[in-house]
Amino acid sequence: VVTRNASINITDKYNKNVTFIKSPVFNVIPDFNITQPENGHTAVANETYNIQWSSTGVGPTNVVLEYSTDAQLGEGATWNYVVGGDHNTTNDGSESWNVPGATLSENSRVRIKDPGYTNASNEGLNYFYLRGRINVTRPAGGENWQVGTPESINWSVKGNILKVNISYYDGSVWNVIRT
């Protein structure tokens, strides 16, 4: 059981008159394990991603989830809350995260904390990717484009994608249209 008031009591099993020793009060904290995202998983900007974790120990009922896009494996990362408001979410092993798109990163991490015990936390193993997505909307497939006729190529993006390269495949090689 997770508690701030744990102590150990030692007595002689055969002689109750022997003086007992009671330890000073200490904490029993939960053990968390982030299982997703980590180890190269990909979360796509402006989409929903299901953060998952396990928790050992009875309690806590709520946890705080944070993410970093500049995590350097334990060094000075900037952490942002996954959940708004009081930042708490139910400790049920899963949180649906609306992935932000302002900063894309190859060095992202998620961590979980018990709001009542600052030492009870866990960061996912290794990095996950926070990536954007490009969807081609024109051509949509099945069109017939005539050689020498100008055609518009349209796309939409998710995340902070500032520049794109455009190429087409002619059946044997990729040809650059614009960089």
Q: What is the pLDDT of residue 117?
A: 82
Stated pTM of the model: 0.82
E strand segments, the chain? 3-6, 9-10, 21-22, 26-28, 31-36, 42-44, 48-56, 62-68, 80-81, 88-90, 94-98, 105-114, 117-123, 128-131, 133-138, 154-158, 166-169, 174-178
Digit-coded pLDDT (tens) for 54-92: 998 777 899 999 999 987 755 668 999 999 999 999 999
Residue 141 has pLDDT above 70, yes or no: yes
Give the mean pLDDT of 96-105. Answer: 95
Average pLDDT over residues 152-174: 95
pLDDT above 90 covers what percent of the chain? 66
pLDDT at res. 73: 58
**Higher-confidence residue: 33 or 20?**
33
